Structure 1
Amino acid sequence: MPALAAPDIDPAAAFPDVRALRDAAKARNWQAVEAGFGRLVDPAVHRLAVSQVGDALDRGLVESVAAANPIDPLSQTLLAWRLVHDGWNIRTGAWGNNVSQEQWKAFHTHLHRAEQILIEVTARHPGYTSAWTERLHTARGLSLGQAEARRRYERLSAGAPGFYAAQDAMVQQLCPKWGGSYEAMHGFAVECVRSAPPGSVNGGMVPAAHIEHWLLLTRDEDDRAGAAYLKRPEVQQELRWAAEQSVFHPAFRPGPDWVDAHSLFAMAFSLAENYQAAAAHFNALLHGGNLASESGWQYLGDAAKEFAAHRERAFQKGFGR
């Protein structure tokens, strides 16, 4: 059987409108960017476009456009996104005790500025979901606490129930490494599934939480402890339940974040060596366009290579392709 092509991990692979916006951003064509955002009606696609355009736009252009449009929610949110993104790049993904004082200072400077911008945006435009989602990231980075993060999440959810990007941010916020607990994180993830309509992508929060749990056990103990945790019967049962309620429910239809959800399930099952369950998710992604998400997989190293290696291992067991 011929080898599979490398998976496409481009977040915009399934969204031509977002790719066009990103191309316009790379070309420094602000008018095309602004017009393109005006045609986006799905808040989840808008959020994806903010991340793709924010990363592609030249920082100087973002600054100048935002300065010229101080009450424009789009340019202000793109600038805030870029500040947060650049701040996290300075901090890096290292554990806190491996981040220097200079890195912490620059990180907080970026996030404080982004926070002030986002406060203004959400005050003028209370329903601007992309800005509220970014405020969850600033709350975590600035250590504003669980109660404040919850307040922001509930404020966002009032206008956009079950918003995947916001729930993903809250799983991070509620994990122990950010002042939460395993109980709070897993309880939230399960509630995301229960409160969503059958066939929604929100089931992806369950493997996201279990992967965070695996990561902390791997750090604090060793790889065997993390794998043993994921192999627990109750963990496997919860993962299967979440998949059946979401991406494998008869009502499921691919939409924003479906690739992320399947990728997380594939990773959680793969790390537990449940190759039959993992292969089902790898198959869905393969036949949906050979797509993959970096979410979670970056913890293993090169996300695309790790995804491909685990996929091949699952398929070698005879469960896929």
Structure 2
Amino acid sequence: MFSRIFRREPGEPRLTPPVLDTDIALDDHAVRHARDRARAGDWTAARDVVAVAGTDWELRSRRISVLSDAAVENDAWLYAWLRSSPDDPTAVTIYAEVLGVRAGDARGDAPASRTSPEQFRAFAELSDAAATASRRAIALAGPDDPTPYVELLGAAFADGQVDSPEFQEALAEAKRRDPYNFDLHVTMVSLLCQKWFGSHEQMFGAAREVAGAAPPGANVVVVPFLAHFEYAMREYGWDQRTPESLAACSRHFQRPEVQRELDTWAAKWRAGPHGPARAMTCRHWLALAYFLARRRAETKAALDEIGPYLGPTLAWAYFFPSTEAGFLTAWRWANT
């Protein structure tokens, strides 16, 4: 498949791929500016850009993620903030997420079969520290903010305690605070997938339930796309990224019943306003699904909406050696 996509016929114009913007902030330029100021020592810029998000919990969570990612490499500004305001719930939440990111980095992104006991041990220790910090953030958070609860739920990737009373209480409270929160349900669909602690049936059930209940335009309506990515990757591309595995995954997305379902969710997502925080991720998921289904016009339209904003959209790497390789493969095919 790769050779067919990249083959150029004689006389055919050479395609010039876009210059990709891989910033984790995607198209949120306000948080990019605040992050740069924080890195330069002005932690108040980080505080203020999160505060501006108000009760748009997805935007608040997205900005906290961007700032946390920055603090993983340079945490001096975060510790200055914590020294100045040790009980600031935003600073404590960022600190918890930094520990969570470091836990993921310690484990690495290789399959379990290629992950060492030392990596698993570091993952568990840092995840436990992240959970402790998340509990403190919960104690400090406002009565409607779901963000630290979502971060606490993410600790289950290390301990697997998805049936524990603490996990179920945190899940119920997060849903009460923001029932259609994108990050919350992505976390749940991921935890319930077969490669973690659930099954295909549990994963699809959770994704379809929230997508069906959410209002038109809500970003969480697109979460069933993630379930199909997880399913195809687990069934047809587990532990490999080859032309053969890509072709097998593509056949799944070409099934008429899969296309009908995903078209239903895409139409519902487009039927109402969607928050800016995760909309770009949703566009990437649509583009990837259309590409795998070999629907050229829809793939191109979705990619045109995305523009240069690649970011760290990991779903492409489910099927390709890297996110960039997947995106550019789809772009060349759609623009041929």
What TM-score, normalized to structure 1?
A: 0.88
Alignment match, 1:262? 283
Counterpart residue type for residue 174 of structure 1: L
CA distance 1:151–1:281, shift in 2 (3 Å): farther
Match of 1:138 among 128, 133, 155: 155
Say if 1:108 and 1:67 are closer, same or farther in 2 by CA, change over 3 A: farther
Give the match for residue 93 of structure 1: 109
Distance 1:254 1:161, change over 3 A: closer
What is aligned with 1:232? 255
The match for 1:76 among 92, 115, 125 is 92
Backbone CA RMSD of aligned residues: 2.3
Is 230-239 or 11-20 further displaced after alignment? 11-20
Equivalent in the alignment of 1:276: 297
Counterpart for residue 163 of structure 1: 181
Distance 2:321 2:117 in 1: 26
Matching residue's letter, 1:245: K
Please give the alpha-carbon distance, in whole angstroms, between the structure 1 residues aligned to 2:309 and 2:145: 29
Q: SS state of the match for residue 114, structure 1?
A: helix
Please tell me whether the aligned partners of residues 42 and 77 of structure 2 are also in contact (alpha carbons under 8 angstroms): no
Alpha carbons of structure 1 residues 101 and 66: separation in structure 2 relative to 1, 3 Å: farther
* Alpha carbons of structure 1 residues 68 and 199: separation in structure 2 relative to 1, 3 Å: closer
Work out whether residues 219 and 279 of structure 2, in 8 Å CA contact, stay in contact via their aligned partners in 1.
yes
CA distance 1:150–1:220, shift in 2 (3 Å): farther
Whether 2:193 is the aligned partner of 1:175: answer yes
Note the C-alpha offset of 1:238. 0.8
Per-residue deviation, 1:166 = 1.1
Corresponding position of 2:52: 39
Q: Percent identical across equivalent pairs?
A: 24
Among candidates 121, 134, 140, match of residue 124 of structure 1? 140
Q: Distance in 2 between matches of 1:159 and 1:152?
A: 11
- Identify if the C-alpha distance between structure 1 residues 15 and 105 changes in structure 2 by more than 3 Å, giving closer, same or farther: same
Shift of 1:14: 2.3
> Gaps spanning 5+ residues in structure 2: where?
1-12
- Indicate the residue corresponding to 2:68 in structure 1: 54
Distance of aligned partners of 1:265 and 1:36 in 2 relative to their CA distance in 1, 3 Å threshold: closer
Higher relative contact order (CA 8 A, sep 6+): 2
The alpha-carbon distance between structure 1 residues 108 and 151, as it changes in their structure 2 partners (threshold 3 A), is same
Deviation at 1:165, TM superposition (A): 1.2
Structure 1 residue 204 displacement after superposition = 2.0
Counterpart for residue 315 of structure 2: 296
Following superposition of structure 1 onto structure 2, how do residues 178-217 of structure 1 map, counting pairs within 5 Å?
Answer: 178-217=196-235
Native 8 Å contact 1:7 1:308 kept in 2? no
Q: Provide Cα deviations, 1:147-200, integer angstroms capped at 9, x if missing partner.
A: 665543331121112111111111111101111111111122112221111122
Which stretch shifts more, 176-185 or 33-42?
33-42
Cα distance, 1:60 vs structure 2: 4.6
